[in-house]
Amino acid sequence: MKLLVSAGPTREFLDPVRFLSNRSTGRMGYAVAEAGVAAGDEVALVSGPVEIAPPAGLAALDRVVSARDMLAALEKRVEWCDALVMTAAVADFRPESAAADKIRKGEMPETIRLVRNPDILKTLAPRKGRRVFVGFAAETRDAAASAARKLAAKGLDLVVANDVTAPGAGFGVDTNVVTLVSPDAPPESFPIATKRDIAAMLVERVRKLLLRQTESSLA
């Protein structure tokens, strides 16, 4: 299949030095991309700023910085793909304006006005068609419930939920603990495993969902 993966954080600049971001390292998304390549899929990776090397054998690699950059890159590639796995931790907000020069300490405002970034999955939803769309929900509480809401609100086929406060899960580690939430089955929780093993399982799950979509369309 043609697999489109987003990974890593985005950065939303206040000035050339300072930005809003999050703790995502991109490891989970890069593992998904690597698993797709290993399974013989064509894989395009859209990556925010990370400090890890991309997997060998990618069909395409787009490096982006901001949420709007990531949306633009995904919009260009979504028609190409059979499935989109959105692991990226996209910043929900950005500063309303960015200064051209570094803001000095004495000039820094006490209040910074933020505006919402576009919701990437909601923006891409009208172009979904028979494609499989998978989202991720990294939470600090009620991860499965949050994933269920995300599943319904964005019309996804699957959401991978994880509590980033759980031992062995979250940012900057090689393991994760996930629960798969889908519209037609109860949540399915998995024990702690390496991100590579979880990625391989997820790629095969996406393949089965895509096959089901294709069979349904031909019925």
What pLDDT, on the 0 to 100 scale, is given for residue 8? 97
| Structural contact between residues 86 and 24, judged by C-beta atoms closer than 8 angstroms | no
What pLDDT, on the 0 to 100 scale, is given for residue 138? 87
What pLDDT, on the 0 to 100 scale, is given for residue 219? 59
| Structural contact between residues 196 and 30, judged by C-beta atoms closer than 8 angstroms | no
Q: What is the DSSP letter of 171?
A: T
Residues involved in catalysis: 22
Tokens 């998304």 correspond to 29
For the chain, 219 residues long, give each residue's pLDDT as a single digit of tens: 999 999 999 999 999 999 999 999 999 999 999 999 999 999 999 999 999 999 999 999 999 999 999 999 999 999 999 999 999 999 999 999 999 999 998 899 999 999 999 999 999 999 999 999 999 998 888 888 889 999 999 999 999 999 888 888 878 889 999 999 999 889 999 999 999 999 999 999 999 999 988 777 665
Per-residue CA distances from 68 to 65, 100, 157 (Å): 8, 18, 24
pTM, to two decimals: 0.94
What pLDDT, on the 0 to 100 scale, is given for residue 140? 85
Degrees, nearest 5: CA angle 57-136-118 = 95
How far is Cα 79 from Cα 71, in angstroms, rounded to an integer?
13
What pLDDT, on the 0 to 100 scale, is given for residue 204? 98
| Structural contact between residues 192 and 150, judged by C-beta atoms closer than 8 angstroms | no
Question: In degrees to the nearest 10, what's the CA dihedral of 117, 120, 125, 126?
Answer: 60
Question: Going from the N-terminus, what domains does the chain have, and what CATH number goes with each?
Answer: 2-218 (3.40.50.10300)
Per-residue CA distances from 104 to 66, 97, 109 (Å): 23, 16, 10
